[in-house]
Structure 1
Amino acid sequence: MSTALHPPVRRPARVAYATCRGVEDVEVLPVLAAFARAGVSAEAVFWNDPGVDWAGYDLVLIRSVWDYILYREEFLAWTRRTSALTRLANPARVLERNTDKTYLRALAAAGVPVVPTLWVAPGDPVDAVAAVDWPELVVKPTVSSGARDTVRTADRAAALAQVAALTAAGRTAMVQPYLAMVEDEGETSLLYLGGEFSHAVRRGPMLGGGFADVAREPDADQLALAERVLAVAAEPGELLYARVDLVRLADGSPVLIELELTEPRLFLDLCPDGPDRLAAATRSLLPGNTRSRPGVSPA
């Protein structure tokens, strides 16, 4: 009789798709289906559900955690705790940097062309806001998403009032010019999965109506800027997903308006195999898989 030991039965890898209550995430079902096709057990889980055993997952994929703006400190504390139990993608250190838009100031200091921005923290003078010659202003808090608490106005008094309201609440305000060219050009979002360019989307402006989101090929200067942004913003192999949002200034030059590394919509519906690309990039991070290209580093 053979005495050879049978190899242990390996359980399927498990992935948690982190979301939040009360949202309509159009990407969750296609992504979960893509994981099933890839032989990975995946389920949507609320990030702040106290009953979840995060150690039971091989990876937590941060996706539609859109309520973090209301609970940022609690969210970041959760990312740190979860990172001690399992792998988080994107990593906790990335999420901490990216959930406050002052990261744009750091990128600008590193030489990345960014939409002109005035920063007003609680207690800062507001003289510069009144003095700018931009025809229209956009005022928003540095911790926000989806144009929440954002005002677009040509009225300096209204802009100053919004700055005052934000800083009185202990929040930092950012003031930018409204770029009217986005109503024709739109924003260009470049999507990266597993460290590689995947697809790009032309998006309508969030303020002031616009047009439907459509797939597009990025121009060479846009692609070059996106690669530069990611090289400055993250270590090699640090990001599972990234969305680089660009606009053009009046002179035609592309600039960064946002770098979405926390919970961006990835526009997977506008890429024929988008969900499968995300599932494959995620699967390569799981135990028993090796990568032939840079991957997400542990948190």
Structure 2
Amino acid sequence: MSLPENSTATREATATRVALVTCAELPSLPEDDRPLVEQLRAGGIIAEPAVWDDPTVDWAGYHLAVLRSTWDYLARREEFVAWAATVPRLANPAQLVAWNTDKRYLVELDMVGVPVIPTSWFAPDDYWQPPVTGQWVVKPAVGAGSRDCGRYQLSDPEHRRLAVAHVARLQRADRLVMVQPYLPAVDGYGETALIFFADPDKGHLTYSHAIRKGPMLTGPDHPDDDLHRPEVITARVPSAAELAVARRAVAAIPAQPSRLLYARVDLIPGPDGRPLLVELELTEPSLFLSTDTGAARRLSAAIVASAAARAVAGDRFVDQ
């Protein structure tokens, strides 16, 4: 008579395994992702953090690797993009990691009719002649959070000097520079972030929830600023105009809708009050799960469905 199998070991051997991909600075994930871990584990999923550049991680051993808080890739973007291409089952897919981690994607979205904040681009060898007045934002094309971003009142001689120095510092580091008008609506109305998750029943991203972010750029950039400056986050019900722009941006993502797991669309009202796109976050956005009681459940369902779809497709479903 054979001995009964260890039921716990059997369950673990057959359970769906999901890696929540993070960075070495946050090996246990940020607080905002904890509800997702709890929701996945409650559903019988083995969900665990995994650091993206840890050479000991066996990415092929996961049914799905979900990009979450890989916020240290900025100085190593090429390495990060190359790593993403080696992960067999990655969400969002590697092709979007390459596209979305360089903000020149805004040019493409603008060309297909998504209303984007007007942006001037300056390569390392370009000359920037600053405007004589107005408030302007300087930031790099490859960046996350508010690091290396500054706000300048160019009628102020000191701000003007600091803005020129900021552009020059980024150019010396061989970085593409973005210069945008500062939108004063962010000081009162704030920035609206609309979060979308894959809907297993519909096969594409659908709206989940939204939040308001208060202004973060209060003045010139300081090179030693933290990656993420303090934010004031509250739940928000988006306007019909914001939903329309967000959906237009999501529809313009250059990937099959069924391949997408999440998106975050950041908007600020322009001078005429109509929403303008700040960023379309597809790689490692904060999803503010704790601001909506059903958000973690909806994302968990999307992850489970995505992992199952890849399992059915087998080796043919490779996110390259």
TM-score of the pair, normalised by structure 1: 0.88
2:140/2:176 contact within 8 Å kept: yes
User: What is the correspondence of 1:110-121 to structure 2 with a 5 Å cutoff?
Assistant: 110-121=112-123
State the alpha-carbon separation in 2 of the partners of residues 122 and 91 from structure 1.
30
Q: Which stretch of the first structure deviates more once superposed, 174-183 or 233-242? A: 233-242
Aligned counterpart, 1:76: 81
State the alpha-carbon separation in 2 of the partners of residues 216 and 74 from structure 1.
37
1:79/1:92 contact within 8 Å kept: yes
Task: Answer yes or no: is 1:12 the counterpart of 2:33.
Answer: no
Aligned counterpart, 2:52: 47
> 1:251 Cα shift?
1.1
Equivalent residue letter for 1:111: G
User: What is the correspondence of 1:114-263 to structure 2 with a 5 Å cutoff?
Assistant: 114-127=116-129, 130-131=130-131, 133=133, 135-154=134-153, 155-194=159-198, 195-208=205-218, 212-235=232-255, 236-263=257-284
Equivalent residue letter for 1:222: E
Equivalent residue letter for 1:142: A
Specify whether residues 140 and 253 from structure 1 end up closer, same or farther in structure 2 by C-alpha distance, changes over 3 A only. Answer: same
State the alpha-carbon separation in 1 of the partners of residues 116 and 259 from structure 2.
22
State the alpha-carbon separation in 1 of the partners of residues 44 and 266 from structure 2.
32
> 1:177 Cα shift?
1.2
Counterpart among 286, 291, 294 of residue 307 in structure 2: 286
Counterpart among 106, 110, 115 of residue 108 in structure 2: 106
2:64/2:91 contact within 8 Å kept: yes
Partner of 1:66, secondary structure, is coil
Partner of 2:186, secondary structure, is helix
State the alpha-carbon separation in 2 of the partners of residues 110 and 121 from structure 1.
24
Aligned counterpart, 2:290: 269
Specify whether residues 76 and 258 from structure 1 end up closer, same or farther in structure 2 by C-alpha distance, changes over 3 A only. Answer: same
2:216/2:231 contact within 8 Å kept: no
2:89/2:310 contact within 8 Å kept: no
Partner of 1:18, secondary structure, is strand
1:18/1:44 contact within 8 Å kept: yes
> 1:110 Cα shift?
2.1
Equivalent residue letter for 1:242: A
2:33/2:289 contact within 8 Å kept: no
State the alpha-carbon separation in 2 of the partners of residues 289 and 68 from structure 1.
26
> 1:285 Cα shift?
1.3
Runs of 5+ in structure 2 lacking a partner? Answer: 1-9, 154-158, 199-204, 219-228
TM-score of the pair, normalised by structure 2: 0.83
State the alpha-carbon separation in 2 of the partners of residues 96 and 17 from structure 1.
19
1:115/1:257 contact within 8 Å kept: yes
1:166/1:173 contact within 8 Å kept: yes
Runs of 5+ in structure 1 lacking a partner? Answer: 1-7
Q: Would you say how many aligned residue pairs link Structure 1 and Structure 2?
A: 282
2:63/2:311 contact within 8 Å kept: no
Aligned counterpart, 1:26: 31
> 1:239 Cα shift?
1.6
Specify whether residues 185 and 75 from structure 1 end up closer, same or farther in structure 2 by C-alpha distance, changes over 3 A only. Answer: same
State the alpha-carbon separation in 2 of the partners of residues 73 and 34 from structure 1.
33
Identity of aligned residues (%): 45
Counterpart among 72, 97, 102 of residue 95 in structure 1: 97
